[in-house]
Amino acid sequence: MVDHIANVTVLGTGVLGSQIAFQTAFHGFDVTAYDIDDAALAGARQRFAGLATTYTRELAGGVAGKADEALSRIRLTSDLADSVVDADLVIEAVPEILSVKQDTYEKLAAVAPQRTIFATNSSTLLPSDLKRHTGRPDRFLALHFANQIWRLNTAEIMGTADTDPAVFARVVQFAKDIGMVPIELHREKAGYVLNSLLVPFLNAAAGLAAGGYADPETVDKTWKIATGAPVGPFQIFDVIGLMTPYNLMSHGDEDAQRIAGWLKENYIDKGHLGVATGQGFYSYPSR
Ligand code: NAD
């Protein structure tokens, strides 16, 4: 039996967890946001207030009512057992460290109702890496959002061979109910759909510039004019921030490490980390 989803608990209230919790509350669900201690919850309150401002500006035509209602539907707690008492669905967005996630699921499995569905927002781990620790592999899957969930509204849904198809279908419906476009994967794939496309694309663009074949501006111009895409790969790099690709590439093969060195020397060491710092491959003077 797969129950109707009404109460949602989000574990971790960082960049993505706060967005998932707010988006869910904005669409009328009761949300409990869990984080490890009072300091983390204080950070969460600030993030929720910032999201209320953003949603009001970008989605509610400047009228704060709906965002304020969303805020009132979010309960914060640092007590894990309390956070899941009534949970129909738990969405986990704790740090991307295998041992932290495994430990979180073991603690969660001990206190959550047996009916509760667990979903991980992990970007790089497979649900198979975690399912043993959940105590309910049939009610566990990945539900992966993109940063800036209110605008970039894909929700990639990926089960393991053990995931009950009814649970998968229920989570697909939930994704729609919170304003997402569900992207269903039939099998497990590291990187889901989006990063399976995006990572090689960005690597190829960086390889062209780092190898001295063409400037970033030329690469972007080519991509935009010849495909009609609104942005080029280096504009995407700037939005993501250069540190994440740098960290990934510096642990990669020889070619990837060469590109990482180029990124470090020409951009990172100069503080040009992307949109967030006002300068990356391009300048963002208003930031
Ligand atoms: P973050 O570091 O911003 O937030 C992590 C939160 O988890 C913090 O609030 C921290 O206090 C809390 N936390 C730490 N230990 C915990 C524990 N043991 N139990 C519960 N909470 C704990 O991280 P993030 O960027 O929000 O990423 C979270 C997850 O979302 C990761 O799995 C990541 O792969 C995924 N994700 C991130 C992005 C992104 O763009 N940042 C995009 C998609 C998916």
Q: Which residues line ligand 1 (CB under 6 A)?
A: 11-17, 35-36, 40, 93-96, 100, 104, 121-123, 144-145, 147
Is residue 28 over pLDDT 70? yes
pLDDT value at 2 more than 80: no
- Taking alpha carbons only, the member of 96, 103, 102, 74 closest to residue 10 is 74
What pLDDT shows up at residue 286?
A: 75
Handedness of CA 142, 146, 149, 154 (dihedral sign): negative
CA of 143 to the centre of ligand 1 (A): 14
CA 120 to ligand 1: nearest atom: 32
Ligand 1 centroid – CA 18 distance (Å) = 9
Cα 210 to middle of ligand 1, angstroms = 31
Give the mean pLDDT of 205-221: 98
**In ligand 1, which atom is closest to the CA atom of 147?**
40
Among the residues of 84-215, which ranges form H helices? 98-111, 165-177, 194-210
| pLDDT recorded at residue 61 | 87
**How far apart are alpha carbons 217 and 232 in whole angstroms?**
9
Q: What distance in angstroms lies between residue 32's CA and the mean position of ligand 1's atoms?
A: 16
Residue 63: what pLDDT?
85
Please tell me the pTM assigned to this model.
0.92
**pLDDT (average), residues 115-138:** 97
Q: Which residues pair with 283 in a beta bridge?
A: 279
Return the pLDDT at 76.
98
Query: Over the chain, what is the mean pLDDT?
Result: 96
Instruction: Report which secondary-structure segment, H or E, holds 138.
Output: none
Q: At 62, is the pLDDT very low, low, confident or very high (cuts 50, 70, 90)? A: confident
| Residue whose tokens read 């476009």 | 181
The mean per-residue pLDDT over the stretch 251-278 comes to 95
| 283 DSSP 8-state letter | B
Could you tell me if 144 and 192 are in contact, meaning their C-beta atoms sit under 8 angstroms apart?
yes
Question: pLDDT band for position 1 (50/70/90)?
Answer: low
Q: What is the pLDDT of residue 98?
A: 94
**Cα 146 to middle of ligand 1, angstroms:** 13
Q: CA-to-CA distance for 259 and 82, rounded, in angstroms?
A: 47
